[in-house]
Amino acid sequence: MDSDPCKLIYLSAWRHPLDELARREARILVALLRAEQQRLSGTSNLVGPQQLCARSI
């Protein structure tokens, strides 16, 4: 049996799939930022990176 290279994720239409994916991506990015901040400074507080992002916009 050949394995299909495309993976499909079923998201029902009534749940606004694009919004759900965006929220998941945002949660993952925040978790990664917290982990990196924890690694660099010993705290998972994101105030420093948040201020840096706000200044760059």
Residue 51 falls inside a structural domain: yes
Range of the domain at 41: 14-56
Q: Is residue 43 part of a domain?
A: yes
Tokens 């606004």 belong to: 16
End-to-end CA distance of the chain: 50
Per-residue pLDDT tens digits for 3-48 = 667 767 676 667 777 788 888 888 888 888 888 888 888 888 877 7
Number of domains composing the chain: 1
User: Does this model's pTM top 0.75?
Assistant: no
In a domain, 23, yes or no: yes
What's the one-letter identity of residue 5? P
- Residue 32 token pair: 């990664």
Residues 45, 47, 48, 52: what is their CA dihedral angle, to the nearest 10 degrees? 140
